Structure 1
């Protein structure tokens, strides 16, 4: 599979829909399976919405498809690290980082002088289901 990437032009107020559209386009060029597309779009939505909600917006977005993996990179201007919140029936939300880490088992954060980039990698082939 030939590596292929897509990058948005990063409008001033990039939103989840624009990031998902870029991901859909790149994945369609590789004839990605429906389950893989769904997982990638979920990770894109979570990372972009968290950058908007908690870090002042998206400063960079990149998606790359290579043999065996899809890598999503979302940058923002905050140096704060995402963290898992304990599940609570009284507090809405807080599941995004857990969802990302479940769907993209190889996820890490690169810190730089202008903030951070979260790099999430999903396997293109189905693996064993995540542990409960």
Structure 2
């Protein structure tokens, strides 16, 4: 995994970091895969900022078949599936989107406090 240093403070910075990471890959993923990666990163980072109060780490990795995104935040609370707010007030769309775009999602404790979310998506 290749960490960003320092961690982004906004989703736009996280997307820029994801684009920079993808630019190092050979072969480069398909355009639709890159778009999905950017959306996934936006949602993960936005959720960390909104629900955990901060993003304490962001890292990327890849192998021949998979792209990996790792997000670390200071909250031990796990993401919760909730009914989306269709009026646009409180969200509820991000976590289902993350689960849909990923082929595997793993959430682990990150002592002394916090969690790590590792998402794998098809390359």
**Alpha-carbon RMSD:** 1.6
Match of 2:92?
Answer: 94
Deviation per CA, 1:28-60, whole angstroms, max 9, x where unpaired? 222221101000001100000010001011001
In the TM superposition, residue 64 of structure 1 has moved relative to its aligned partner by 0.4
Contact 1:6 1:22 in 2 (8 A): no
Correspondence 1:50-69 to 2 at 5 A: 50-69=47-66
Match of 1:128?
Answer: none
Partner SS for 2:23: helix
Q: Which runs of 5+ in 2 are unaligned?
A: none
Correspondence 1:103-122 to 2 at 5 A: 103-113=101-111, 114-122=113-121
Partner SS for 2:56: strand
In the TM superposition, residue 88 of structure 1 has moved relative to its aligned partner by 4.4
Partner SS for 1:78: coil
Moved over 3 A (4+): 87-92
Query: Equivalents in 2 of 1:96, 1:87: separation in Å?
Result: 9
In the TM superposition, residue 112 of structure 1 has moved relative to its aligned partner by 2.1
Query: Equivalents in 2 of 1:87, 1:66: separation in Å?
Result: 34
Cα distance change of structure 1 residues 89 and 14 upon mapping to structure 2, 3 Å threshold:
closer
TM (normalized to structure 1)? 0.83
Question: What is the aligned residue count?
Answer: 119
Q: Which has the larger radius of gyration?
A: 1
Correspondence 1:14-53 to 2 at 5 A: 14-30=9-25, 31-53=28-50
